[in-house]
Amino acid sequence: MKQRTALIAGASGLVGGECLRRLLASDAYTKVTVVTRHSLGSAAKHPKLREIVIDFAQLDRIKTELRADHVFCALGTTIRKAGSRAKFREVDFEYPRHLAELALRNGAKHFSLVSALGASSKSGVFYSRVKGELEDALRAMHWPSLCILRPSVIAGDRRESRPLERLSVALLRFGPATYRPVAAGKIAAAMIATAQREPRGVTILESSEIPRAAG
């Protein structure tokens, strides 16, 4: 098995946390670097883990340290939590885009992004449009291997309270496959499985395709 290194952004979140747990347990990865705004605490003591605590607006300060074979980006917020559309765009577009630019410049081979169902730069919905604009920006970088996952509602135990999301999970569980909730663990597993294959060009995993890609 070819051994690789990984870099994660968003490891304190639901999908990012699942990614971190699986990467640390995998023999396929010898080193995992986490870029985070707040320390992961005891989780950061794993011998394979390197934690970089920094404001994402200051990524240029650590640009030479953003080196890995595979990059997993699960950064994201809500407009309510961000406080404004401008701040939401900063977190969900500017930070991931800049991270991707720096990692690619440092020789990364694969970038995996958690986007969203319905993402499109032509969408009339602000949230979906920002997600789509990020997808377009990543495509324009011509990554050797790029995977974009577009989950519907993400199911799992969040640290923060999102009552509307919990309601959506309950209501959509028996709905059409396209809109059914996707477990955070399935998304993380699909990201890692795809990264290890390093498929050339752009791979899009729509919500209903993610469980199958997770294996």
Q: Domain 4-214: which topology?
A: Rossmann fold (3.40.50)
CA distance 175 to 151: 14
Residue 67 has pLDDT above 90, yes or no: yes
What residues does each domain of the chain span? Answer: 4-214
Where does the chain show beta strands of DSSP type E? 4-9, 29-36, 49-53, 70-73, 110-114, 145-150, 154-155, 182-183, 201-206
- Which pTM value belongs to this model? 0.90
Q: Which of 19, 89, 15 is nearest to 49 (CA)?
A: 19
| Dihedral pair phi/psi, residue 53, rounded to 5° | -95, 120
Q: Within a 13 Å sphere around the CA of 20, how many CA atoms are in the beta-carbon half?
A: 23
DSSP 119: -
pLDDT band at 164 (very low <50, low <70, confident <90, very high): low
Residue predicted with more confidence, 166 or 100 = 100
CA distance 76 to 71: 15
